[in-house]
Amino acid sequence: MKKTFLFLLLFSACLLLWTCTCPIKEKADENPFFSDYNTPFETPPFDRIKEEHYLPAFKEGIKQQLEKIDAVVNNEEAPTFENTIEAMESSDALLTKVGNVFFNLLSANTNDELQSIAKEISPLLSKHRDDILLNQKLFERVKAVYSQKDKLSLSVEQNKLLEKYYKDFIRGGANLNEENKERLRKINQELSLLSLQFGENVLKETNAFELVIENKEDLAGLPEAVIITAAEAAKERGHEGKWVFTLHKPSMIPFLQYSEKRNFREKIFAAYINRGNNNNELDNKTILSRIAALRVEKANILGHKTHADFVLEENMAKKPENVYRFLDQLWKSALKMAKNEAKDLQEMIYKEGKKFELQPWDWWYYAEKVKKARYDLDEEMLRPYFKLENVRKGAFTVANKLYGIQFVERTDILKYHPDVKVFEVKEADGTHIGIYYTDYFPRASKRGGAWMNSFRKQSRQGGIEMTPVICNVGNFSKPVGDKPALLSFDEVTTLFHEFGHALHGLLSNSTYKKLSGTAVPRDFVELPSQIMENWASEPEVLKMYARHYESDEVIPQELLDKLKKSSHFNQGFATVEYLAASFLDMDWHTLTEPNEVDVLEFENNSLNKIGLIPEIVVRYRSTYFNHIFAGGYSAGYYSYIWAEVLDADAFEAFKETSLFDQKTALAFRKNILEAGGTEDPMTLYIRFRGAEPKVEPLLKRRGLI
């Protein structure tokens, strides 16, 4: 009896210990995607999200959405906007929750495990999307609602949502026969993997290259800050006592601008333009040729002549010929200007007593020399006035003066990387708007370029306001030694540009996430970003944020005058390299036959056709053109300059009144930033501006007239 009692006592103690410790273990292992985050403003709990959480959350998200879709399909009530369209709109809550975190980190802070997960989940997501869009019974319900839309007394936004869903089904293959539906599924799955592989290869090629300099004399011409940065990079990469330059632009561009060693300039430039084109395991030629062919086949199956026809149907441009006509309108003047610039650079080469012909790897170096000679201005004179924190504060100040909003740094909100800063965005009266992350410095785990994305889009689900959680990611110059991060003026402009995208997401005022923020046609989405660039260079604004990082002295008027006088300098080069990439994009996506082609031959033919001069290389060669082969800009890279017509014209509305005219700012906020994709973009633009945009402000700004 005593032994039995002791056994029971011991068993009870063990049971008590188990019940005390087990829940803690379960809680530690709990998947954070399966419950509320319980963080400030429901921001992602990055400290609790582990790699092993993604796949189960994705699969559960797919399962939950299919269950909700089945409920819609099997609803015995007649199809209505509420029980069909709104029910679909709210069906993907978990899938969106996990996807927003995963794909943001895949771009901004990736690793081998995330990339492996992406390869596993992408075909599943492709299949899942097809399972919905090719569900005939579901389509019949959507079509039934769409057919009676004129009798439903829907709001403008509800009409737009209904139209979007109906078009998604049509464009997703709902009207195809079974054979074509099955082929479309296979194409979509293959494309999802090929695009992932393309981007992964570009990132690996970018990270793999290093120009190691061992002799100090080979640093001739480079500014001190650039040399210090290279020494730090060398130390990080195990080359103590040497200097390393990489293909990340904050390292490469200053080297091309200032290095006197022409052979090294050629080496780093050649490495940059040959990413994905080295006939190794990271070569992208076969991949992109296959992507282009599959896109043609998909477009043909869906009843379109080319992929561009398929894409542009939903954009402002509507047809490929409209894009080509627009690009042609700019090309002749830009090419003429670029040829004149090339002559100026060649004269500088001869003036130095050199006899070689100008090459692409010489352009940045001699452009800097000509600018210095002509305007007594170079990039390093400006950098001390562009401390990153001050530039960001300047962007915040512009937003405050335009829209009355404020940005308050939050140190209590979790971050996915130490470089990230977090801000709460509020209305003038303190009302919470959203959360804004900034992540500005390059690293091996981050793809190149700069972008905006969302961890949560603004919407109102079931009457509950879902506030936005937005991020800006960039690859700007890092702090050097005891100096803070000092930006080039180009980086300043990029920061303002991406901040404009962020405002589009933060100030959104839509009911449905499918129409929220940046969910607008590709050739309209760049308007909010590009208009912000205008304020970055206005003297009145520069005096607000351009202060010397040591003395806090405001940028002197003399430098502002030089900056203004040089504003058209090198614009031929900038416009030509960009337009050439736009033509190349359109040429890839106006192919009419689903055949894989020789990439280099195709690219050469495309660029020769427009007469690109040999001194300039297209901004993105095909093998590292992430925008169109790993991003969402296929048949859409023209969008930047299309939207520049809009933003140049829109900014004139402020210039006609004042930079911070409240009436104009309110009109822009209401009709552009808040409206998202709730109406036709030209309708929204005319409501803001009073008329369609004119091209003259753009031509004037770029010095083309």
469-473 and 432-439 as β-strands: parallel, antiparallel, unpaired? parallel
> Which amino acid would we find at residue 607?
L
Tell me the residue ranges of DSSP E strands in 209-344: 211-213, 243-245
- Tell me how far apart the alpha carbons of residues 528 and 646 are, in angstroms, rounded to a whole number: 10
Q: 208-231: string of b/e by CB count within 10 Å (b at 16+)?
A: ebbbebeeeeebeebbebbbbbbb
Partners of residue 212 on adjacent β-strands: 244
- Tell me how far apart the alpha carbons of residues 554 and 29 are, in angstroms, rounded to a whole number: 53
Contact 510, 458 (CB under 8 A): yes
Contacts of 164 (CB under 8 A, 6+ apart): 514, 515, 677
Three-state secondary structure string covering 445-513: CCCCCCEEEEEECCEEECCEEECCEEEEECCCCCCECCECCECCHHHHHHHHHHHHHHHHHHCCCCCCH
Contacts of 267 (CB under 8 A, 6+ apart): 211
Partners of residue 483 on adjacent β-strands: 480
The angle that helices 360-375 and 320-351 make with each other, rounded to 10 degrees, is 70
Which helix (H) or strand (E) covers residue 425, if one does? strand 421-426
689-692: Cβ within 8 A, 24+ apart: 689/649, 689/650, 689/653
Q: Virtual CA dihedral for 207, 214, 384, 492, nearest 10 degrees? A: -20
Contact 571, 690 (CB under 8 A): no
- Structural tokens at position 543: 């005096």
- Structural tokens at position 578: 């960009």
- Structural tokens at position 40: 């400030």
- Structural tokens at position 318: 């509507």
Q: Which residue has the tokens 């290279």?
A: 230
The 8-class DSSP code of residue 244 comes to: E
> Which amino acid would we find at residue 128?
H
Q: Is 243 helix (H, G, I), strand (E, B) or coil?
A: strand
Contact 603, 610 (CB under 8 A): no
Active site residue 498: yes
- Tell me how far apart the alpha carbons of residues 625 and 292 are, in angstroms, rounded to a whole number: 13
Which helix (H) or strand (E) covers residue 162, if one does? helix 156-171
Q: Which residue has the tokens 């927003």?
A: 100
- Tell me how far apart the alpha carbons of residues 188 and 126 are, in angstroms, rounded to a whole number: 6
- Tell me how far apart the alpha carbons of residues 551 and 527 are, in angstroms, rounded to a whole number: 36
Q: Is 49 helix (H, G, I), strand (E, B) or coil?
A: coil
Annotated active-site residue in 205, 491, 498, 674 = 498
Contact 562, 376 (CB under 8 A): yes
Backbone angles phi, psi at 436, to 5 degrees: -130, 120
- In terms of residues, how long is the chain? 705
Alpha helices in 306-454 (DSSP H): 307-312, 320-351, 360-375, 379-382, 388-403
**Residue numbers annotated as active site:** 498
